[in-house]
Structure 1
Amino acid sequence: MAQAASKTCEICVSGPGYNYCEQCDQLFCDGCKISHLRTKMTKNHTFLSGPNLNPEVKQYCKEHDENFIYYCRECSTPICKICVIKKHKSHDFAEIKESTEGIKAEVKMVIDMKMKNLQSNIADIDQGSNQYKTDVNGVIHAIREVGRTLKEMIDEKVEGLINTVKKKDTKNVQTLESVGNELKQLWIKQKSNRSSIKKHRV
């Protein structure tokens, strides 16, 4: 029998029971309500919802004014003792309590399966995150290696250019010194010649 809505969900016994299933006479939290409506056997069940819900009165068959005591598995609906005889005689049915126990087990199985899938997804995310970090570190290392190689090549090229300039500079200096010496010798020679000419004139 469902209690007042201030109680917790009667399925997972953790969330607030704000949803009352009219067929199962039980309180559900929002998560268990969704699972309940996804279950083949209870997908057509109807709910009363709200924080001030108070389903104290036992649900009954409005057609025969009798309490529901069975659950017809073929029609997915609760039935009273008169419904069994008149409309569901050859159907497969069970007591409400037995049916709700089966639903509880099925919902628990669904929740457990979803929890396992969630844990598996979390593990996959963690693994993917670790792999991503490893890949990023690998890219950074590769960039640094390329940078080091390029720096070595640039330094080598710069040193080569400097050496070439130094060699050309040395050669040019030698050429200039040679030309300068030749000019000096020529100037000295011409000066000497002028002195000789002056002496002869005298």
Structure 2
Amino acid sequence: MAQAASKTCEVCVSAPGSQYCIDCEEFNCENCKLLHNRQKLSRNHQFQKSSDLIPEGKSRCTEHKEEFTLICNTCNAQICPSCVTGKHNGHTFSKIVDVIAQLRGDNETKMRAKTHEANQNINKIEESLISFDNSVESVIKSINDESKMIKRMIDTSVAQMIALVKEQSKKEKDKLMNMSHA
């Protein structure tokens, strides 16, 4: 694959090379890509977004000196088109570009699933926090209700003691009054 994903168009040398011609091994802007596809010799060339290129040096077959463009599914190895008729004859093949696209799609699917799972876990945590907060509020309400009941009991007891003291005080006063008049 190409060495850099952000290049200048190699035809007009003025616009960003957002497209990469796999056959010509050059970066093209959108306009030059359209012109490239209109020419008879390059009409069937394949393009891919330059941002999808793997930023590594090109790998070439040591035997045929051609670029690796295929994956041998049988051997799980990168091969060039000439290797197809050689030691990989009769094997099944895939284009490297297609394998990369498939892997990218698989990874995106897995990422979406993990993101969905993480969001579900976050929702469960948020629901648990709400439930916890409700439980805390319930305990606080019970404490306040118990406190009010205890305060009423204390107020009633204090009122009874005060009434008893006043009653005793009145009786003692009455006795003293009766003794002083007698």
Tell me the CA shift for residue 174 of structure 1: 1.3
Which structure 2 residue ranges, 5 or more long, are not aligned?
A: 7-16, 21-47
Identity of aligned residues (%): 20
Counterpart in 2 of 1:113? 110
Alignment partner for residue 141 of structure 1, among 138, 147, 154? 138
- Sort the Cα spacing of 1:144 and 1:64 in 2 relative to 1 into closer, same or farther, 3 A: same
Partner SS, residue 68 of structure 1: coil
CA distance in 2 between partners of 1:117 and 1:148 (Å): 46
Tell me the CA shift for residue 138 of structure 1: 3.5
Q: Tell me which structure has the larger Cα radius of gyration.
A: 1
- Sort the Cα spacing of 1:8 and 1:168 in 2 relative to 1 into closer, same or farther, 3 A: farther
CA distance in 2 between partners of 1:133 and 1:8 (Å): 49
CA offset digits 1:107-130 (Å, max 9, x no partner): 303311320331232133124313
Instruction: Indicate yes or no: 2:175 matched with 1:178.
Output: yes
Contact 1:60/1:80 (CA < 8 Å) preserved in 2? yes
CA distance in 1 between partners of 2:19 and 2:110 (Å): 19
Contact 1:68/1:79 (CA < 8 Å) preserved in 2? yes
- Sort the Cα spacing of 1:8 and 1:149 in 2 relative to 1 into closer, same or farther, 3 A: farther
CA offset digits 1:67-92 (Å, max 9, x no partner): 335422344322235545654446x3
CA distance in 2 between partners of 1:177 and 1:145 (Å): 47
Contact 1:59/1:67 (CA < 8 Å) preserved in 2? yes
Counterpart in 1 of 2:53? 27
TM-score, length of structure 1 as denominator length = 0.54
- Sort the Cα spacing of 1:81 and 1:5 in 2 relative to 1 into closer, same or farther, 3 A: closer
Let me know the Cα RMSD of the aligned residues: 3.5
Partner SS, residue 109 of structure 1: helix
- Sort the Cα spacing of 1:81 and 1:135 in 2 relative to 1 into closer, same or farther, 3 A: closer
Counterpart in 2 of 1:65? 65
Q: Which amino acid aligns with 1:94?
A: F
Counterpart in 2 of 1:168? 165
Tell me the CA shift for residue 139 of structure 1: 2.0
CA distance in 1 between partners of 2:175 and 2:116 (Å): 88
- Sort the Cα spacing of 1:8 and 1:76 in 2 relative to 1 into closer, same or farther, 3 A: farther
Q: Which amino acid aligns with 2:161?
A: T
Counterpart in 2 of 1:39? none
CA distance in 2 between partners of 1:66 and 1:164 (Å): 108
Q: Bigger CA drift: 154-163 or 69-78?
A: 69-78
TM-score, length of structure 2 as denominator length = 0.59
Partner SS, residue 147 of structure 2: helix
Point out the structure with the larger helix share: 1
Q: Which amino acid aligns with 2:121?
A: D
Q: Which amino acid aligns with 2:102?
A: A
